[in-house]
Amino acid sequence: MADLPQPSSRRWAPWRRSDQRGEVAPPGAVQLLSWIDSSPVGWVLLAPGGGVQHLNPRAERILGLKAVQHLEGRPLAELCPDPNLLNCVAMARRHERPQRLEWQFNHQDLDVMVVPAIGGWIGVQLHSRRSLEAQLEQQERWVSDVAHELKTPLTALLLVGDSLAAQVTDQNARLVERLQRELLRLQELVNDLLELSRLENTVPGRGLKLAPVDLGALVEQVWAGVRPLAEQRGVQLQLQQPEEITVQADASRLHRALLNLFDNALRYSPDGRPLEVGLSRLGSWCQLSVRDQGPGLSRDDLDHMFERFYRGDPARARGQRTGSGLGLSIVQQIAVTHGGRIQASNHPEGGARMDLLLPTEGLGV
């Protein structure tokens, strides 16, 4: 995408790993097409000129095409003249960003993802929405049931802990305090697991209450919630906003994402040093950056920090609080459901920087 910063070069790729014999070659085109052909998802590859370069068997069945026909090289409009699909492909090519389409074709409910690539290539993914939604609903229902079953005994244990705290003695004060702290941490873990499951089982662009959101005002609102904790350590907010930036987004979800980013930054911010937040436009995208002035990120952090339950080196943390290990994973999923992404880097002047990138007009569909 021309107006979107490229992801960190630290992202793992199997052919970038070298050994004593030198660089490992990337998979060849034959191998890649073999993987696509074995995929349970329909795949259509379009060349820069618009002709069909490859269809896998699943795509042929979805589109009602016969494998014996000569399909490669023909325009997509000849194989499937549906204007909704053609417009979606045209938008992806014109805007150079992924487009999603809820599509009804041949009595099928389909979820279509059109992904532009380097050099004008286009990849079209065709999912059966019925089977996909059934799997997502079943998984979310299972996680919800488990979380509900855990919440009931946790609530009872928290009440027991409060009762013990009211009768604490010098001998057991530390044990009761630890019990309450661990129960609260377990409660936070259950809530975060439930939230992450809901986000992961949400198709991007769906299930969101989209409305215009003033990012500057939202930053101030979220910071007001963490200010008492920050002021205990002398940490102030420095907001750099050259202009008002409004995005089409789910305000409650973005509130949660910013809260998690601030919480993560405060863990590693030195006492008395500011936490910097910057807002800027990048073409049809906006970027919200959160920078602490702590020790920065290690290579392992950059490779794994958005994975579930990953925690950085605790020796670098400035606060005593520990989270569930799911905060940044939740931020990542919130970004994805809005058609954006989150990326991490080390600031040239020190400290870690998190960049939340969002399309200003919401996820294109």
Distance CA 213, CA 35 (A): 41
Structure tokens at 330: 């939740």
Distance CA 224, CA 231 (A): 11
Question: Contact at 8 Å (CB) between 342 and 287?
Answer: no
Question: Contact at 8 Å (CB) between 340 and 76?
Answer: no
Can you state the angle between helices 327-337 and 173-200, rounded to 10 degrees? 20
User: Phi and psi of 51, rounded to 5°?
Assistant: -75, 155
H or E element that contains 162: helix 129-166
DSSP string, 113-125: EEEE-GGG-EEEE
Spatial CA neighbour of 131 closest among 193, 58, 197, 66: 58
User: Phi and psi of 17, rounded to 5°?
Assistant: -80, 130
H or E element that contains 156: helix 129-166
Told to judge if 148 belongs to the known catalytic residues of this protein, a careful annotator would answer yes
Spatial CA neighbour of 286 closest among 190, 216, 207, 182: 216
Place of tokens 């020796």: 315
203-204-210-214 Cα dihedral, nearest 10 degrees? 150
Q: Active site residue: 148, 255, 338, 347, which one?
A: 148
Our CA angle for 321, 326, 332, nearest 5°, is 125
| Cα–Cα distance list, 316 to 59, 107, 290 (Å) | 50, 56, 18
Would you please indicate which residues are annotated as catalytic (active-site) residues? Answer: 148
